[in-house]
Amino acid sequence: MAGVAAICIGTAYLSTAAYSVSAEPAVVTVDTTVRGEAISPYIYGQFIEHLGECIYGGIWAEMLQDRKFFFPVTGEAPAWESGYNGHGAPLELLRRSPWMILGDKTKLSMDKEAPYVGEHTPVVRPEEKRRCGIYQERLALQKGRKYTGRVILAGSEGSSAIVRLVWGPGGTQFEAKRIDNLTKDFKKYYFEFESDGDTDNGRLEIIVPGPAEVRIGTASLMPADNIYGFRSDTMARLKELNSPVYRWPGGNFVSGYNWRDGIGDPDKRPPRKNPAWTGIEYNDMGLDEFMVFCRELSAEPYIAVNTGAGDPKECAAELEYMNGSIDTPMGKLRAQNGNPIPYNVRWWAIGNEMYGNWQIGHMPIEEYLKKHKTVVDLMREVDPEIIAVAVGDLGSGWSEGTLKNCSDYMSNLSEHTYWQYRENILDHIAQPVNVIRRVAEAHRQFRETIPGLKEKNIRIAMDEWNYWYGPHIFGELGTRYFLDDGLGAAAALHEFFRNSDIYVMANYAQTVNVIGAIKTTKTDAEFESTGLVLKLYRERYGEIPVKVSGAPAPLDVTAALTRDMRSLTFAVMNPTDSAQELTVSLSGMELGNRAQQWVITGPERRAYNEPGQPRKIDITTSPVCPDGGLTVSPLSVTLISYDVK
């Protein structure tokens, strides 16, 4: 079978010059005898980071802020203040405790001598026939929906506490659970409520009747339909997205993260200041929870280790925790935490963006590569089968330096790319095409100029890519995406397909809320235009790229055969505001008797989807004539599956 370099198997517009629309359908030739390397399924990867509302507020189902009392409870309001506002839009940041005080504020103190978790624990001491306690507002409650939670309490002999869920101002618009006979030792108490009203300002109260002394260790509240602690609505969208791999936990976050903070009893894990971003890291989602997340989504884990502030021995210990047998110290610890069977995680990112002075632990490349080698040596002693992905960056020269000096200490090399908004739609969409191609071409050149590199076949993991611009509407870096961003995401995928010989993985950043493919409110989760594109291609696009020629600019056209060779998938991204007529001419095979198309489009370039509202951008499907003739809608992504014979 004839073959060519993957860069020649498709066509892409790279020019922003004026274009004209022909009156006659353009003939696009698909030569199925000229095939590229199979597209890696990891091209549809995702990346999630502990940043903004990606994990907490997006993926994780916890409804309470600061449930472990990182901030002292003082009753000072407001807890939220405007901070960095991302391109002119207000952004609320939690600056102090969101817990307010019920009753006499002087009857609440913070115990720093023997805290349950973290640095201090609230202690409530109401007088006789008085009540005192704490409450948290701004909870979104839905009528008929059940909520489950727990509170960890210790108290003086005979003391009690009342937990109330409140959904309205009336004297009966709440449900209460009384907890009697508290003990001097902390104990977990579980409860379930059902809201009888809709509100965006519900509240949870923890009330202590006097006289008593009650210590409040932690509290938690989640919708009862959570899935192992994850939001059921977000998980449903993520299952539709069907990513084969998730990179976690960062990102800049990982360079200041201690993985040990995220294991063991979640209620005893210390709350921390997020080391790289604003906000609090609750450590409710750690290594074991991430593995449950991947299991529920049938995805492979791709874990980044801390080579910034972290110690190489701790990187190896983390690997042993995940992959070691129960005969090893860390494997034994994992078993004690409820998981005796090793996870056998294959993919490991050795650090993140260590070339950047914004990165915790940044150092010159010569110094860093010594640390990288030490980390990989120690990790391979634990598990020699790991796939180690080194830190690269083409623009700074870090990729070339790493490949020249460290190629024996990696399986693949990471690159990152982000793009801004461009007023001209062709400029906007050309950005990913040009960058992805330029990086691939540079790495092919490295194989020719660096001795011995070609034989090692070190491939690129573009493990962060996306548009990054606009107001922070969905929390920190929670930018909104529009139809033209979806068109750009399709163009990015097309260029990955054309370079299937060099890209082993690509991870869209950062899946939920934070520059994410899915956006959430407190009660809804919805696909952005970019998420719909990723979902469609993951579901429908083929695996064996084939040569395409004759596509008129500025259309971006690619094609691929399914692995069983029964179908040809033909994808067209049309950035124009006019319908385009095409005729598909097949070489090497014949079109069969059936064809189906899927189309993503919207009413105009800056259309977008809003969680909880009807979609303005969606995927529609219909059968099409299998004769190769087709009409491509304006501002659209069209994917057609042809039976072939």
Output the pLDDT for position 10. Answer: 52
Dump pLDDT digits (tens) for 535-563.
999 999 999 999 999 999 999 999 999 99
| H or E stretch covering 637 | strand 636-644
The DSSP bridge partners found for residue 243 are none
Q: Region 566-571: what's the mean pLDDT?
A: 98
Instruction: Give 180's contacts (C-beta < 8 A, 6+ positions apart).
Output: 160
pLDDT recorded at residue 16: 41
- What's the alpha-carbon Rg for the chain, to the nearest Å? 27
Structure-token match 């610890």, residue found:
333
Burial track 167-192 (b if 16+ CB lie within 10 A, e otherwise): bbeeeeebbebebeebeeebeeeebe
Q: Determine contact, residues 216/153, Cβ cutoff 8 Å.
A: yes
Looking at the chain, the whole-number percentage of residues with pLDDT higher than 90 is 93
pLDDT at 88: 66
Q: Per-residue pLDDT for 2 more than 60?
A: no
In this prediction, residue 84 carries a pLDDT of: 67
Average model confidence (pLDDT) across the chain: 95
Buried b (16+ CB within 10 A) or exposed e, 319-358: bbbbbbeeebebbbbbbeeebeebbebbbbbbbbbbbeee
Task: Please report the pLDDT score of residue 339 as a whole number.
Answer: 98
Q: Tell me the residue length of the chain.
A: 645
For residue 135, pLDDT beyond 90? yes
pLDDT at residue 85, as a whole number: 61
Cβ density class 550-579: b for 16+ within 10 Å, e for less: ebbbbbbbbbbbbeeeebbbbbbbbbbeee
Q: Domains of the chain, with CATH numbers?
A: 6-36+546-644 (2.60.40.1180), 41-61+226-540 (3.20.20.80), 80-223 (2.60.120.260)
Q: Write out pLDDT tens, residues 51-98.
A: 999 999 999 999 999 999 999 999 999 999 887 666 667 788 999 999
Read off the pLDDT band of 3 (50, 70, 90).
very low
Contacts of 31 (CB under 8 A, 6+ apart): 546, 547, 548, 549, 587, 588
Instruction: Place 8 in a pLDDT band, splitting at 50, 70 and 90.
Output: very low
Give the pLDDT confidence score for residue 9 in this predicted structure: 58
Q: What's the CA gap between 332 and 320, in Å, rounded?
A: 10
Average of pLDDT values for 95-124?
97
Contact 205, 134 (CB under 8 A): yes
Strands 387-390 and 412-419 turn out to be: parallel
Q: Which of 279, 277, 280 is closest to 269 using CA atoms?
A: 280
Average pLDDT rounded to a whole number, residues 556-579 = 98
| Plot region of 178 (φ>0 → left; ψ -120 to 50 → alpha; else → beta) | beta
Q: Could you tell me what percent of the chain has a pLDDT over 70?
A: 96
Distance CA 157, CA 353 (A): 54
Q: What pLDDT is recorded for position 6?
A: 40
Q: Find the mean pLDDT for residues 630-645.
A: 97
**Contact (Cβ atoms closer than 8 angstroms) between residue 136 and residue 65:** yes
The CA angle 396-400-403, to the nearest 5 degrees, is 135
Instruction: Please say whether the dihedral angle defined by the alpha carbons of residues 118, 119, 125 and 130, taken in this order, is positive or negative.
Output: negative
Cβ atoms of 544 and 38 within 8 Å: the answer is: yes
Check if the beta carbon of residue 98 is closer than 8 Å to that of residue 65.
yes
User: DSSP state, 230?
Assistant: B
**Buried-exposed string 490-516: b where 16+ CB fall within 10 A, e elsewhere:** bbbbbbbbbbbbbbbbbbbbbbbbbbb
**Which of 249, 214, 229 is closest to 108 using CA atoms?**
214
Helix, strand, coil shares of the chain, percent, nearest 5, are: 25, 30, 45
HSE-up (13 A, CA, CB side) for residue 436 = 37
Mean pLDDT of 605-619: 98
What gap in Å lies between CA 439 and CA 503, rounded to an integer? Answer: 10
What angle is formed at CA 69 by the lines to CA 178 and CA 267, rounded to 5 degrees?
70
- Give the model's pLDDT for residue 87: 67
The DSSP annotation for 354-417 comes to: TTSTTSTT---HHHHHHHHHHHHHHHHHH-TT-EEEE---TTTTHHHHHHHHHGGG-SEEEEEE
